[in-house]
Amino acid sequence: MSSERDLVADLAAEIRAAVAETAPPPPALSREGSSPEEEAVRTTLLRAGSHITPSVPESSRLARGKRIALRLLRFLWRDQVAFNTLLLEAATASVARLAAERETLDRLAAAVVRIDESLSAERSRTRASLREELVQWIAPWQRRAAIQDARLTRLESASPKSQTPSAAAGAPARAIPPGVYSLFEERFRGSPEEIAARQAEYLSHLKGVPGPVLDVGCGRGELLRLLAENGIPASGVETNPIAAAECRQAGLAVEEGDGLASLAGRPGGSLGAVVALQVVEHWTPEQIFVFLQEARRTLVPGGILIAETINVDSISAWKAFYLDPSHVRPFPAEALAFLAEAAGFVETRIEYRAPLPPQERLVETSENEAKLNRLLFGPQDYALIARVPTS
């Protein structure tokens, strides 16, 4: 009897070892990111894994005897166990493969979304860049078209057919038409980008001024655009109707009119800064002094005056002065500083601007060559910087 029990125990151990070798590990009940369908398949496989081999519940009648009979008759269902095991392993591998494929597809879909977002952003940047380049390319042609239209209108209105012979012969010489002068500036003054780069140096003086800035003779509005970009309140006044209209079309606060009259019509202490860049050479000395007096009156205590003009101490700069047919007379820096002090400004100083590049100057090997450079090829402009007393 003892030997029979030992034989049954050995058979049971052998069956358990064979099942353990062939049965796959039970699949996980859940997997992060898996779909409900995958979870249902895994649950089914886990339940199937518990039925690879015949079993007898503990609560059944004659459970012990039935289990012994199963062990004795294992040769009848051993092949079925192996088949069930292999089938379950194949199903589990298929589910794992499908899950891996789904994860790969998810990663690819996410990569496609990222690429599409990147391409959309790049397309937006490209469109913005192309739009900006197109605007910059078209702007000069628009200015030229406006100038030409104005020229035709002015020339037609001033044609000999519209005047009587006596009026045409006895009338004084008329000023240069605005369209012609705008075309002159377009050709000789420099591009708006070049002028803006030069005028950007004045931002350090104008940041934090105790009031709005008035740009007298604002031209095409380069300084006004710089001030707007830096959040500095500013407006301008310009005599040329074409330039004033162009500034207003760009959203700048510019009035058409005379700068002296505009200053005279403003209340005292209403401005933080008055700027006149390349303007005073268009006035007589009497007009310059009136401008300085009106600027002093309209500026608040601590307000700043900036007046830029051609540097007459540099002989090479004289060409730029006489190139412009609307210039009245050059004005030395010492004289402008004196008139500013006479008008009530303090802390007056002269800053020299627009130096010539080295290739346009003499190579200095002696003190005499340095003196010649200062005389012949010195800075082309200077700026008078002055303030209103704070008390």
Which range among 46-60, 125-139, 243-257 shows the weakest confidence by mean pLDDT?
46-60
Sign of CA dihedral 181, 183, 185, 187: negative
Does residue 246 contact residue 238 with C-beta atoms inside 8 Å? no
The pLDDT confidence band at residue 160, using thresholds 50, 70 and 90, is: very low
Q: Indicate whether 344 pLDDT > 80.
A: yes
Helix extents (H) in 158-232: 165-170, 178-188, 192-199, 203-206, 222-229
SS3 324: coil
- Tell me how far apart the alpha carbons of residues 318 and 117 are, in angstroms, rounded to a whole number: 57
Q: What is the reported pLDDT for 304?
A: 96
CATH class of 176-387: alpha beta
Does residue 240 contact residue 221 with C-beta atoms inside 8 Å? no
> How many residues comprise the chain?
391
The position carrying tokens 């800035």 is 213
Average pLDDT over residues 154-166: 47
pLDDT digits (tens, 9 = 90+) for 49-99: 555 566 656 666 656 666 666 665 555 555 566 666 666 666 677 767 777
DSSP bridge pairs for 271: 299
Which range among 124-128, 219-223, 277-281 shows the weakest confidence by mean pLDDT?
124-128
Q: What is the reported pLDDT for 1?
A: 54
The pLDDT confidence band at residue 172, using thresholds 50, 70 and 90, is: very low
Q: What is the reported pLDDT for 361?
A: 78
- Tell me how far apart the alpha carbons of residues 239 and 258 are, in angstroms, rounded to a whole number: 5
The pLDDT confidence band at residue 289, using thresholds 50, 70 and 90, is: very high
CB-based burial label for 327 (10 Å; 0-12, 13-18, 19+): middle
The pLDDT confidence band at residue 325, using thresholds 50, 70 and 90, is: confident
Does residue 298 contact residue 358 with C-beta atoms inside 8 Å? no
Tell me the whole-structure pTM to 2 decimals: 0.57
- Tell me how far apart the alpha carbons of residues 145 and 248 are, in angstroms, rounded to a whole number: 17
Q: What is the reported pLDDT for 29?
A: 46
Closest CA to 343 of 286, 276, 279, 283: 286
- Tell me how far apart the alpha carbons of residues 116 and 177 are, in angstroms, rounded to a whole number: 55
What are the residue ranges spanned by the domains of the chain? 2-120, 176-387
Sign of CA dihedral 30, 35, 36, 42: negative
Average pLDDT over residues 148-154: 56
Which range among 96-100, 255-259, 321-325 shows the weakest confidence by mean pLDDT?
96-100
